A and B are shown apart, each in its own frame.
Chain A
Amino acid sequence: MSTTTTGLRRAADVSKGDQLPPLTLKVTRRDLIRYSGISSDCNFIHYSDKRAKEAGLPGVIAHGLLTMGMVAKIVTDWVGDPAAVVDYQARFGRPVVVPDDEAGTTIDVTAKVGLVNDDGTARVDVYAKCEGQLIFGRCYAIVRLA
């Protein structure tokens, strides 16, 4: 396999325990509205405080798939080629409440290499926190290395 033109991170440069550069994400109501439109997930809990509260939530929350999609950037930036992500999964733990203001909320993302496999892939374990608490019960990506 040629590695001359690929942007993939090389297996030789990856070890278990390696930390990825951290990522800070800002999430605002604007992001939620844009994602509702793109994804066709227009559940009212993503835009109406009143109805979110009626559903037992503290307020409008981000789509799990929006936060999962945003958080993936920590892996895609590090591995070099977004298409090198061959498996990506998350359990949605805590809802991310997004206030109705310019600041929105912030998600702090860290990640480390949890496992380097014999087949040229690695597992990257991802930790995303909002207000100091993990938002995913478990989140990891399997990436193909060069």
Chain B
Amino acid sequence: MSFVGRSYRLPWIYEVGRQNIIEFAYAVSDLNPVYRDPEAAKAIGHPDSVASPTFLSVLATRSHHVVTDDPDLGLDYSRMVHGAQRFVLHRPVRPGDRLTTSAHVDDITSRAGNDYIVLRSEFATEEGEKVGTVVATLIVRGDGIGLGEGKDA
């Protein structure tokens, strides 16, 4: 059975707090004032402070967990490494955004004994405005067990 095309609607809204944005900026050592000071952001044309370009990692990691924890998929998390990541930002993330998440299994391939899973997470407001798309490639290091064959295969 193929899992390509499977989608998950995550059962929560992530409300972006002003402090979440500030703490993330500190965590990646970027002290640009536009992340913490609304006046600095307004001075360059934004209505409020903005989040770091990779802020959606915080939401995407939670999104990945939902997929990797799906018992049907039978992934071995201990053998998983992160292969690639892409952030497509349709508009800046701002304080007060209430974001929905949907996760999509776009592709699964096996190469050289490893499984490559392409997971796309779509983040939007409750009104449906697209905010960001995050695409991750997760690699499950090979042991000869195919995806979807179950954990005890």
List residues of A whose CB falls within 8 A of some B CB.
Answer: 2, 5-8, 25, 31, 34-35, 38-41, 55, 63-66, 68-70, 72-73, 75-77, 80-83, 85-92, 137, 141
Contacts of B23 in A (CB 8 A): 38
The answer to whether B53 touches A40 (Cβ under 8 A) is no
How would you classify the secondary structure of chain B's contact residues: helix, strand, loop or mixed? mixed
User: Is B89 within 8 A of A5, CB to CB?
Assistant: no
B53: contacting residue among A8, A66, A88, CB under 8 A: A88
**Complex contacts, A39 vs chain B, CB 8 Å:** 27, 57-58, 61
The number of residues on chain B lying at the interface, defined by a beta carbon within 8 Å of a beta carbon of chain A, is 36
Contact A89 B86 (CB under 8 A): yes
A69 near B50: Cβ-Cβ < 8 Å: no
Q: Contact: A88 with B44, CB < 8 Å?
A: no
A65 touches B54 (CB 8 A): yes
Contact of B92 with A83 in the complex, beta carbons under 8 Å: yes
- Find A70's partner among B30, B44, B86, B87 (CB 8 Å cutoff): B30
CB distance from A138 to the nearest CB of B (A): 8
Q: Bound state CA distance, A93 and B59, in angstroms?
A: 23
Docked CA distance A91–B85 (Å): 7
Give B1-42 as 1s and 0s: 1 = Cβ < 8 Å from A's Cβ atoms: 000000000000000000000011011111010110000000
Can you give 29 contacting A-B residue pairs, CB < 8 Å?
A5-B43, A6-B44, A7-B43, A7-B44, A7-B45, A31-B27, A34-B27, A38-B27, A64-B82, A64-B85, A68-B85, A70-B29, A70-B30, A73-B29, A73-B30, A81-B46, A82-B30, A82-B32, A82-B34, A85-B89, A86-B88, A87-B86, A87-B87, A88-B86, A89-B86, A90-B84, A92-B82, A137-B84, A141-B53
A74 to chain B, nearest CB (A): 10
B57 and A69 form a contact (CB under 8 A):
yes
How far is B35's CA from A68's CA once the two chains are assembled, in angstroms?
Answer: 17
Determine the distance from Cα of A15 to Cα of B23 in the docked complex, in whole angstroms.
34
**Do residues B85 and A35 form an inter-chain contact, with CB atoms below 8 A?**
no
Contact with A along B129-143 (1 / 0, CB 8 A): 000000101000000
